[in-house]
Amino acid sequence: MKALIATFLALALSIPASAQAFLSAECEDGMAGPYPCSRVDLLAFMPASSLGGGTFNDVWGWTDPETGREYAIVGRFGGTSFVDITDPSDPVFLGQLPTRSVSSGAASRSPDKSRSQLLCHDDCEAPTPGDGSAGSAWRDAKVYADHAFIVSEEAGHGMQVFDLRRLRDVSDPPVTFDEDAHYSGFGNAHNIELNVATGMAYAVGSQTFNGGPHFIDVTDPQNPSPSGGYGGDGYTHDAQCVIYSGPDEDFHGHEVCFNSNENSLTLLDVSDHSSPTMISRTVYPNVAYTHQGWLSEDQRWFYLNDEMDARSHNTRTRTVVWDVSDLRNPVVADQYYSPDIAIAHNNYVRGGFLYQSNYTSGLRILDISRPDRPVEYAYLDSQPGTHAHQFRGTWSNFPWFESGTVVFTDIEDGLFIVKPLLPLDEIVEANLQLTANLQAPMAIRMGNWTRGARVRVQIENAGPFPAGGVELLASLPVRGEIRLLESADADCIDGGRKLRCRLDSLQAGAAVVLDLDVRSEDAVDEGLIVSVTSELNDPDMGDNRVHVSLPRPDLALPFAQLEEGGSGCSLAQRDPLLAALLLIAFSGLFRARRRRSP
């Protein structure tokens, strides 16, 4: 795999920069060129060196209302690059807006960031050019009225304003642009949110308002003006501000900000910009660093990323699903665990899908047709072979181009331009039914507290239509192993703690059974997770995600088979009654010994 990747990247880097686009591959048999994938075609890849160099960070998009042309706005260490992706397989680097610096040193940090400094949160391991050039690993842009508004953690940067209509007339790209306006009401800022319904921008993580939202009126884009702020809950890392139209009628028509405030989800009513008020402040289990989140389109659900929980607790990537139908009392409805090991970062909603950029796991697309039960539907892994809690890989994505093109940035590598293959025909639906049942605990070794079990998984198509492109995904926490024992007509790849199986088609009324030997060496928090999808819409997709709790060693011992290389069947198979009696007796003995322990 590494040799294949090196070959592709060497080929890409050997192409002159004037050629602009590199690598293009359909997702076939689980690969798009050198990148593992499922239902995501790679349309183009542009290495960092072809877009101005340096490391990459945020990405946003703009569609020209007059021409319909689509553009990616790409944040980099040393500035912002603009790419015409109207023909996504032949993108054009139009030029860059250099960073606005007053210092070439490290970006100053807000004094209220003590918690984030202690955690070394966010992208503090992101590489820098190392040549003393001005810039910052953090840069963020949003769009309103055909203008881009850009902030950075670089000291003294303020907010740059760039008229995107200038991209129409670039005759000899790439060129170097200058800014059209500048706002200096703050120096560095971590992020910017912009409510296009009100023309109000919210810079967060600055040295004003205790790091909370700094309000800027941009209704006249080239004459931004201060409009207040809120510092009552300290530092805000990211935010989404909307004119509220969700289930809570008390706030209909109000402008509400959903703020990710380091250790809480904090909701603000900012309808009166001169006098904002807090609606609620809510914490959640195992909070480590509340990073970012996004609302469902009906504004009932909020999908939140905690950037440090997976690393702190050594788990799979977690997404906290909030029911925010009562703004005064948001509640956690679900905790979705990705099959991959990575740090959570940014996610956005378009329609019934959640687009996640979670560092080393690449772009992950979740089906949220049942909003409180996400299921992974598609992905493209920009960091193959690197699945760890590391601050590298993909930073962010932009999924709202009308063409269906999605762009996402990889910190070290560059810009990916992809096309997800999502189900569009809502008339032809699949009705897959998934079950995963614990058959018997097995292969338990007390010495290293290994948990294990045999699990039988069944996929049934209840019809009425054949389901094509069926994919089953099973995963364990950080340390574990899944072995496929038996399977009918499924093409499976078992890679340690993950198992992925594909079926070209599953006819109506047909079923497939897979027997798995599952083992885990660590304390299992979320156990074995199994999900199944197909190329068709499935109105009950949320039911196609199943959790299986693996037995604790003290409860599983009576059922244990012989060690590796042994023979014979398990005690549970030879004498179920005796096995049950031994289980009861051993469990009582274990509890008694535990009570006597000092």
**Could you tell me the pTM of the whole model?**
0.86
Pick from 223, 286, 217, 214: nearest CA to 257: 214
Q: Is 125 helix (H, G, I), strand (E, B) or coil?
A: coil
Strand (E) or helix (H) holding 432 = strand 432-440
pLDDT, residue 447, reads 41
* Count of Cβ atoms closer than 10 Å to residue 9 Cβ: 17
- Average pLDDT of adjacent 10-residue blocks, the chain of 598 residues: 39 36 83 95 95 94 98 95 97 96 41 34 44 75 98 94 97 96 96 98 97 98 98 97 98 98 97 97 94 97 91 85 98 92 93 94 94 95 85 94 97 95 74 88 50 88 89 87 80 84 92 88 71 86 85 50 37 49 50 43
Query: Of 385, 342, 346, which Cα lies nearest the Cα of 9?
Result: 385
CA distance 458 to 555: 25
CA atoms within 13 A on the CB side of 318: 28
- pLDDT score, position 533: 93
Rounded Cα distance between 126 and 390, Å, is 9
Q: Write phi, then psi, for 99 (nearest 5 degrees).
A: -60, 155
Contact 57, 393 (CB under 8 A): no
> Which contacts of 254-259 are long-range, i.e. CB under 8 A and separated by 24 or more positions?
255/195, 255/197, 255/198, 255/200, 256/327, 257/193, 257/202, 257/213, 258/293, 258/295, 258/302, 258/324, 259/204, 259/212, 259/213, 259/233
Amino acid sitting at position 490:
A
The H or E element spanning position 275 is none
Q: How far apart are CA 262 and CA 110, in angstroms?
A: 13
Give the H or E element holding residue 490.
none
The pLDDT of residue 134 is: 66
354 contacts: CB under 8 Å, gap ≥ 6: 294, 303, 319, 347, 348, 365, 366, 368, 374
- Alpha helices in 264-359, H assignment, sequence order: 309-313
Close Cβ partners of 207 (under 8 Å, ≥ 6 residues apart): 108, 110, 111, 186, 187, 188
Residues 471, 477: Cα–Cα separation, whole Å: 20
Number of Cβ within a 10 Å radius of residue 465? 15
The candidate with the shortest Cα–Cα distance to 82, out of 70, 67, 72, 69, is 72
Residue 419 DSSP SS3 = strand
* pLDDT of 80: 96
Q: Where in 158-297 does DSSP place strands (E)?
A: 159-163, 175-176, 181-183, 191-195, 200-204, 214-217, 225-229, 238-243, 255-260, 265-269, 277-282, 290-295
**Residue carrying structure tokens 């699949």:** 430
* Burial (0-12, 13-18, 19+ Cβ within 10 Å), 426: exposed
Q: How far, in Å, CA of 176 to CA of 505, rounded?
A: 52
Cα 593 from Cα 576, distance rounded (Å): 26
Strand partners, 331: 323
Can you give the pLDDT at residue 589?
Answer: 46
Q: SS3 string of 136-190? A: CCCEEEEEECCEEEEEECCCCCCEEEEEHHHHHHCCCCCEECCCCEEECCCCCCC
